[in-house]
Chains A and B, each alone.
Chain A
Amino acid sequence: MDQASRPSESDADLVTAIGGGDALALRVLYERHAAWLLVRLSHRCADPALVEEVVQDTFLAVWKGAPHYRGEGEVPAWIWGIGIRRLIDRLRRHRAMALFDPLAHEPSAEDHVLLGIEHGDLAGALDRLSPELRAVLQATVLDGLTSREAGRLLGIPSGTVKTRLMRARRELREGLA
């Protein structure tokens, strides 16, 4: 994938070009963003084929939706919003396996050390949360989903999402105090 990368054009410029029907701009945008999207989605769904389809669908949606992009937020965040919602749609329809396995990502000792240097107490406080509470935090705060969407992703009712979120915040506050 070593085509002209148009380094002087910002992501927003590319999206504008894509909105005008420039398929090459879509290619460049893909080269910039497909990789991290793939990895990030893979951390939410363990089915690699499904994740690949979602990445494909996402860039198709970018192609179709580019004319309507009004610059609301940064382009990567926009792409992520499309991608995660596509994933949720797919998971709802196909009831795919292993949406998000809360127990699969226990931090290693190495991570503890590295994070401790960079982020101080927050990492420790996050660590002490249960995986279920962490999952809810990730879905709402990090991924930007609504409680309903988070519920769909995690397979729990949206009410449960809200209560867990409250608990998570309270525990974090206590942990940091």
Chain B
Amino acid sequence: MSWHVDEPILDLYASGTLGDPAVYSVEAHLVTCTRCRGELSTRVDESRLDRIWVGVRDRVDAPRAGIVERLLVQAGIPSHVVRLLMTTPSLRPSWVVSVAVSLAFAVLADRLVGAGALPFLVLAPLVPVVGIAAAFARPIDPVWEIGAATPLGGFRLTMIRAAAVLVLSVALAGVAALGLPEPGWTLVAWLLPSLGLTGLTLALSTTSAGMPNVAGAVAATWSVGVVLAEWLADQRLAAFDARGQVLLALIAVASIVVVVARRDAFERRVGA
């Protein structure tokens, strides 16, 4: 390249006082000439360029927020809480999909076979139980030891994740319930049992039994209990009547008390 822009012209161009035809000439040239671009750089305010770069670098480094993350932030949840949730195993799409499918099946069973919403009502409260078991199973969280030494790790993180799983499960079940053939109280009859079973699972996990065992025990007891109640009382969906709801509500409240009192058990879960 034999022709280069004269320095006085570059000065004028950089300061915005160069006239039009010359501007075109310079700009067309700059696209192809490294040397003149470099010359121009020396005439631009470096701190301005640095400031712009910091903005670029921040957005390049920052963890990329997926769609779900952005939606949750829009919904008003603080962005740092959302980031914590993003590492909860049971909030992964695969789990959400399998839960949605199971619930859909239960609803379908009801519509096709006319089982009177029993499959759905038994299944829906178990969804958060399974979700929490998956979220807490220690081998699944490789970062547990680092997390255990942090202020939020341990009890508080556990509760944040449990709450997220519960909310998501309730939301999924709520949507699925709309598909039940006989709407009415069955739309919400599973809600208190959800809370009760979730609380019970958390409370029992403070014992030395281990989360998977506890979750399994709760699931089994619930399923058997529902069937048993129906058979004993000789009434459909006996477990979900007023007495049943009250009982489960009491279990939920008692569980909360136990969980808070035994919060130590959620920390320092280092294996023997």
- Do the two chains belong together in a single complex? yes
Given A39-B13, A39-B14, A43-B16, check contact A142 B24 (CB 8 Å): yes
| Interface assignment of A36: CB less than 8 Å from any CB of chain B | yes
Whether A36 contacts B30 by the Cβ 8 Å rule is yes
| B17 neighbours in A (Cβ, 8 Å) | 108
Most chain A C-beta atoms within 10 Å of own C-beta, residue among B24, B50, B53, B57: B24
Closest residue of chain B to A11 (Cβ to Cβ) is B34
Q: Is residue A32 within 8 Å, beta carbon to beta carbon, of the partner chain?
A: yes
A106 — which chain B residues lie within 8 A by C-beta? 19-20
Per-residue 0/1 for B1-39: is the Cβ within 8 Å of any A Cβ (1 yes, 0 no)? 001001011001110111111111101101110100110
Contact B30 A76, beta carbon cutoff 8 Å: yes
With a cutoff of 8 Å between Cβ atoms, the chain A residues found around residue B61 in the complex are 23
- The reply to whether the CB of B243 lies closer than 8 angstroms to some CB of chain A is no
A171 at the interface (CB under 8 A from B): no
**Across-interface contacts of B31 in A (CB, < 8 A):** 74, 76-77, 80
How far apart sit A105 and B40, CA to CA, in the bound complex (Å)?
A: 19
Determine, out of B41-49, B196-204, B228-236, the stretch whose residues face the partner at the interface: B41-49
Across the interface, B37 reaches (CB within 8 A) one of A36, A77, A105, namely: A36
Binary CB contact string for chain A from 15 to 44 against chain B (1 if under 8 A, 0 otherwise): 000000001001100111111101110110
| Inter-chain contact total with CB atoms closer than 8 Å | 117
Chain A residues whose CB sits within 8 angstroms of the CB of B143 once the complex forms: none
CA A129 to CA B31, docked complex, whole Å: 24
Complex contact B22–A115 (CB within 8 A): yes
Size of B's binding interface in residues, CB under 8 A: 42
Q: List 23 A-B contacts (CB under 8 A).
A: A1-B50, A23-B57, A23-B61, A27-B57, A31-B41, A32-B34, A34-B53, A38-B44, A40-B27, A40-B30, A52-B48, A52-B51, A52-B52, A56-B55, A80-B31, A114-B6, A114-B22, A115-B22, A118-B3, A119-B25, A122-B21, A127-B20, A142-B27
Q: A-side interface residues toward B, CB under 8 Å?
A: 1, 23, 26-27, 30-36, 38-40, 42-43, 52, 55-56, 59-60, 63, 74, 76-77, 80, 105-108, 111-112, 114-115, 118-119, 122-123, 126-127, 131, 134, 137-138, 142
Give the A-binding residues of B (Cβ under 8 A). 3, 6, 8-9, 12-14, 16-25, 27-28, 30-32, 34, 37-38, 40-41, 43-44, 46, 48-53, 55-57, 59-61
The 8 closest A-B pairs by CB, nearest first: A107-B19, A35-B41, A126-B21, A111-B19, A35-B44, A105-B20, A56-B55, A59-B56
